[in-house]
Structure 1
Amino acid sequence: MAPNTEQAIKEIEFDYYVGVFEVLPNEQDSNLTHWSSAVVGSIKQIRKSSRHMVLLLVSNDGDFLSQFVKEALDNDVLIWPTRVMLITRLSLQRLHPLGKALSGINAIVITRETSKAERWGVYAYLPYSHRVVLVATWTSVAGLSYHADTQLFPNKFRRLTDGAHLGVVGQNFPPHVVVRKTRSNESQESKFVFSGPLLLVLEMLARNINFTYDLVQPSDGSWGFLFPNGTWNGMIGMLHRKEVDFGLGPFGITYLRAQVVDYTSPLVVDYGRILGRRGDTAVDPWSFAFPLTYSVWASTFATLIIVLLLAKVLSKIHWNPEFQSPRISLSVYLRTFLQQDVEVSADSTWERMILAVWILAIFVLTECYSTNLISLLAVRYISEPYQTVRAVLDDPKVTMIWFANTAHQQYLAGVESGIFYELVQVGKRGRMKLITPAEYEETVTTYVSRGDHVMMNPDTIMRMFLTEDYMDKGNCKFYLSKEGFLPLTFCMVVQKYSPLLSPINEVIRAVIEGGFYNYWMDNAFANAKSCKNPPRKITVQEPLALANVWGMFAVLVSGDLIGVIVLCLEIITKRISSGSLGRS
Structure 2
Amino acid sequence: MRELQVRSNVLESPTIQWFVITDENLTEELPSLLREGTQVALVQRTTDQKALLFSSRVDPDGQLRLHKVGSWSASGFWHPSSQQEKSELVPNLQEYYSDFQGRQLVVTTNDNWPFFKIKTLENGTIVAISGIDLSVINAVSEKLNFTYRLITPPDGRWGGPQPNNTITGLVGQVARHEAHATLCELFITVSRESVVDFTVPYYLGSATLVSPAPKEKNRSFAIFSTFTVDVWLCICVFTALAGPLLYKVTRFLVLYVGEQDIADYSLQSFSFNVYRNLMVQGNLITSHRWSLRFIFFSWYLFCFYIYALYSGTLTAVLAIRAFEKPIDSLHEFPQARQNGFSFGAVRDSSYADVLKSAKSGIYREVWQLFDHDNEDKSLLPSPDVGIEMVLKEKYVFINCQLNTMLQAARWGPDKFYIGHQTFLPQGCGIACSSGSPYKGAFSKAGVQTLGPV
Q: Same fold (TM over 0.5)?
A: yes
Taking structure 1 as the reference length, the TM-score comes to 0.67
Q: Which amino acid is 1:407 matched to? A: S
Post-superposition Cα deviations, 1:86-107, rounded to whole Å, max 9, x if no partner, equal 234556xx52121344573222
Counterpart in the other structure of 1:291 = 226
Q: Do the aligned partners of residues 313 and 69 (structure 1) sit closer, same or farther apart at CA in structure 2, a change above 3 Å counting?
A: farther
- Contact in 2 for aligned 1:86/1:110 (Cα 8 Å): yes
Q: Select 2:333's aligned residue among 387, 392, 412.
A: 392
1:449-460 matches, cutoff 5 A:
449=391, 452-460=394-402
C-alpha contact (below 8 Å) 1:249/1:493 kept by paired residues: no
Deviation at 1:442, TM superposition (A): 4.8
Partner residue, 1:203: 138
Secondary structure of 1:402's match? strand
Paired with 1:511 and 1:166, the residues of 2 have a C-alpha distance of 19
SS at match of 1:504: helix
Structure 2 residues without counterparts, runs of 5 or longer: none
Offset at residue 140 of structure 1 (A): 5.3
Contact 2:42–2:53, Cα closer than 8 Å, also in 1: yes
2:344 to 392, 401, 404: 401
What is the aligned partner in structure 2 of residue 126 from structure 1?
A: 57
Does the 8 Å CA contact 1:173/1:461 hold for their aligned counterparts?
Answer: no
1:86 is paired with a residue whose SS is strand
Query: Could you say which residue in structure 2 is the equivalent of 1:540?
Result: none
Q: Following TM superposition, by how much is the alpha carbon of 1:399 offset from its aligned partner in structure 2, in angstroms?
A: 0.5
1:78-477 to structure 2, matched below 5 A, reads 79-80=14-15, 82-89=16-23, 94-101=26-33, 104=36, 105-112=38-45, 115=47, 118-127=49-58, 128-129=62-63, 132-139=66-73, 143-144=77-78, 148-155=85-92, 157-159=96-98, 163-179=102-118, 181=119, 193-281=128-216, 284-318=219-253, 319-327=257-265, 328=267, 329-395=270-336, 396=338, 397-428=340-371, 433-438=377-382, 440-445=383-388, 447-449=389-391, 452-470=394-412, 475-477=413-415
* Structure 2 counterparts to residues 53-68 of structure 1, below 5 A: 64-65=2-3, 67-68=4-5
Is contact 1:226–1:410 with CA below 8 Å preserved after alignment?
Answer: no
**What secondary structure is seen at the aligned counterpart in 2 of 1:96?**
coil
Deviation at 1:139, TM superposition (A): 4.3
Say which SS state the counterpart of residue 126 (structure 1) adopts. strand
Cα deviation for residue 205 of structure 1 reads: 2.8
Distance in 2 between residues matched to 1:419 and 1:494, nearest whole Å:
33
TM-score scaled by structure 2?
0.84
- 1:168 counterpart SS class: strand
* 1:122 counterpart letter in structure 2: L
The alignment of Structure 1 onto Structure 2 pairs a total of residues equal to 435
Q: Which residue of 2 aligns with 1:529?
A: none
Give the CA deviation at 1:259.
2.1
Deviation, structure 1 residue 400? 0.2
Q: CA deviation at 1:360?
A: 1.9
Deviation at 1:136, TM superposition (A): 4.8
Q: Distance in 2 between matches of 1:195 and 1:411?
A: 29
**Pairwise CA RMSD:** 3.1
Deviation at 1:334, TM superposition (A): 0.6
8 Å CA contact retained: 2:161, 2:195: no
Rounded to whole Å, the distance in 2 between the matches of 1:443 and 1:417 is 26
Q: Which amino acid aligns with 1:72?
A: N
Task: Provide the secondary structure at the position in 1 that maps to 2:396.
Answer: strand
Q: Do the aligned partners of 2:355 and 2:367 also contact (CA within 8 Å) in 1? A: yes
Task: Please say which of residues 208-217 and 493-502 is displaced more in the overlay.
Answer: 208-217
Of structures 1 and 2, the larger Rg is shown by 1
Summarize the Cα distance change of 1:414–1:514 in structure 2 as closer, same or farther, 3 Å threshold: closer
Give CA deviations for 1:334-363 in whole Å, capped at 9, x if unaligned: 111111132113445533332232122212
Higher relative CO (Cα under 8 Å, sequence separation at least 6) belongs to 2
Q: Distance in 2 between matches of 1:462 and 1:130?
A: 43
Q: Runs of 5+ in structure 1 lacking a partner?
A: 1-31, 33-63, 516-584
Tell whether the 8 Å contact from 1:170 to 1:216 is kept in structure 2 after alignment.
yes
Q: Distance in 1 between matches of 2:420 and 2:355?
A: 21
Report the 3-state secondary structure (helix = DSSP H, G, I; strand = E; otherwise coil) of the residue aligned with 2:437: coil
Distance 1:190 1:507 in 2: 27
Q: Report the Cα distance in structure 2 between the residues aligned to 1:505 and 1:129, rounded to whole angstroms.
A: 23
Equivalents in 2 of 1:129, 1:430: separation in Å?
A: 48
